[in-house]
Amino acid sequence: MATGSDIQQRLEEMRAALVKRGVAITPKRAKVLEILATSDEHPNVGDLHAEVQRWHPSTSLATVYNTIELLKETGQVLELEFSAAANRYDGRRPDSHPHLVCLECQRIDDLEVPEPEGIFEAIGAETGYEVVRQRLDYYGICPNCQKKRESRLSGQAGFVALNDRANY
Amino acid sequence: MATGSDIQQRLEEMRAALVKRGVAITPKRAKVLEILATSDEHPNVGDLHAEVQRWHPSTSLATVYNTIELLKETGQVLELEFSAAANRYDGRRPDSHPHLVCLECQRIDDLEVPEPEGIFEAIGAETGYEVVRQRLDYYGICPNCQKKRESRLSGQAGFVALNDRANY
DNA sequence: AGGGGTTTTAGAATGATTCTAATTTGATAG
DNA sequence: CTATCAAATTAGAATCATTCTAAAACCCCT
């Protein structure tokens, strides 16, 4: 369970990450951060937008998307993706099983990992849910794309320093 | 590794399931089934459509969606969902962790399950992928929706038999 | 040949997300 | 205090996968 100081700490991490990233903590952005640090309901963009608007009625959807993008870049929010791309299908193994998803080329490989016996029942007993299926995906870079990356990077200079700016 | 008879067997299961479901195995549907039983690339609807069109050029996207829908209903295909609904966000725990997703009301709960130590590295060693994050979701019906279901079902008659029909 | 269902079609509708070009904002220098 | 300028924000258009819809095509059976 989250205590008040947990939330304060989370909020401070988020703010620090954005400042380090070189962007301003504007009132509207601050409100998005606050909702995300507070809510345990896994809100979607529409939820966030509606809530921010209670305080800043002129806020647009684009601002919420913009703030989330910044938080994603800095690892300050976990996105549960339901709409990244087109659905993919597996007709050879119609039972749920783990996959390896390449973030670069969208290749998807099956992964052979036996599922713990009776896991659905165990989770059901603990949480009250009636579990019917699972989804376990590992995301990363496939061997091919790693090679491509190496050749692209070889002989390239280091990063350029990002700009920094005073807050609002 | 899939052998020819594996594929034949898979195909036969799919066909049998659709026949049992009471729909015809038309040439276009048969081609969708064949691709799904054969392909190890987790195709999306566009891929399937393009491939079916090589054999049946007049095939529409709607037919592919229709066939997939039938296969999903009968449990003959695994859908890796990337576009079911709006994305959801967790700002309290930005690290990847397991979730319980209610299929009825879309409620999402965090699940406390410690991740096996060094799992990313182990998978990397086995597959060559450079794993950077995971996603583990359990899908089911939350306690609230189970209650609603029970009250809705109490005193209701059984199912009506489905129609059955000769094939094309 | 005709009836009556299923299947298929093209195109419109939907909905989340991304893009774009214009406007607003706020910190800062003069 | 005002002008300046980049960052922030906006409304609305564009995109894209998916779903919906109403009409047309198809097939079996008499």
Tell me the per-residue pLDDT of B23-60, one tens digit each, with 9 for 90 and over: 999 999 999 999 999 998 899 999 999 999 999 999 99
| CB hemisphere CA count around B118 (13 angstroms) | 3
What residue numbers bound the domain in which A142 lies?
A: 99-146
- A-chain CB neighbours of B111 within 8 Å are 123, 127
- Nucleotide with minimal C1' distance from the CA of B44 is D17
Q: Given pLDDT bands bounded at 50, 70 and 90, which one contains residue B17?
A: very high
Proximity of residue A134 CB to strand C below 7 A = no
Sign of CA dihedral B116, A91, B55, B28: negative
B79, pLDDT greater than 50: yes
Q: Please tell me the predicted confidence (pLDDT) of residue B106.
A: 87
What is the spatial distance between Cα A37 and Cα A58, in angstroms, rounded to a whole number? 22
What's residue A23's pLDDT? 94
- Per the model's pLDDT, the better-predicted residue between B75 and A149 turns out to be B75
Chain centroid to Cα A155, Å, comes to 32
Please list, in sequence order, all residues whose beta carbon lies within 8 angstroms of the beta carbon of residue A16, skipping any fewer than 6 positions away: none
> What CATH number corresponds to the domain at position A125?
3.30.1490.190
Q: Are residues A18 and A65 in the same domain?
A: yes
Question: Are A61 and A118 members of one domain?
Answer: no
pLDDT value, residue A13: 93
One domain, residues A60 and A21: yes
A131 touches chain B (CB under 8 A): yes
* Contact criterion met (CB < 8 Å) for A36 and B92: yes
Q: Is the pLDDT of residue B18 over 50?
A: yes
A69/A116 same-domain check: no
Q: Is residue A162 part of a domain?
A: no
For residue B96, which residues of chain A lie inside 8 Å, CB to CB? 78
Same domain, A62 and A8: yes
- Asked if the Cβ of residue B168 lies within 7 A of any atom of strand D, the reply is yes
Q: Can you say whether residue A19 is alpha, beta or left, with left for phi > 0 and alpha for psi between -120 and 50 degrees?
A: alpha
Give yes or no for A120 touching B (CB within 8 A): yes
* Dihedral sign, Cα of residue A151, residue A157, residue A159, residue A165: negative
In chain A, the residue whose alpha carbon lies closest to the alpha carbon of B10 is A92
The reported pLDDT for the residue numbered B165 is 40
Let me know whether B14 and B55 are in one domain: yes
Q: Specify the higher pLDDT residue, A153 or A113.
A: A113
Neighbours of B147 (CB within 10 A): 11
Structure tokens at B21: 């479901």
Is the domain of B9 the same as that of B69?
A: yes
User: A107 lies in a domain?
Assistant: yes
pLDDT in tens, A59-114: 999 999 999 999 999 999 999 888 777 788 888 887 888 999 998 888 999 898 77
**Residue where a domain stops, chosen among B73, B107, B129:** B73
User: Would you say residue A135 lies in a domain?
Assistant: yes
Residue A66 sits in a domain of what CATH number?
A: 1.10.10.10
Residue B87 included in any domain? no
Number of structural domains (chain A) is 2
User: Are B128 and A142 in contact (CB < 8 Å)?
Assistant: yes
φ/ψ bin of A153: left (φ > 0), alpha (ψ from -120 to 50), beta (otherwise): alpha
State which of A58, A73, A88 marks the end of a domain. A73
pLDDT > 70: what percent of chain B?
89
Residue A163 has pLDDT above 60, yes or no: no
Q: Chain B: nearest CA to A162, how far in angstroms? A: 24
pLDDT score recorded for residue A92: 83
Tell me, yes or no, whether B14 lies in a domain: yes
Q: At a CB cut-off of 8 Å and minimum separation 6, what does A41 contact?
A: A47, B107, B108
In the predicted structure, residue B158 carries a pLDDT above the cut 60: no
Work out the percent of chain A whose per-residue pLDDT is above 70. 88
Residue B163, pLDDT score: 37
Q: Tell whether A164 is covered by a domain.
A: no
Sheet holding A99-102, edge to edge: A108-110, A99-102, A130-141, B130-141, B99-102, B108-110
CA–CA dist B54, B68 (Å, integer): 18
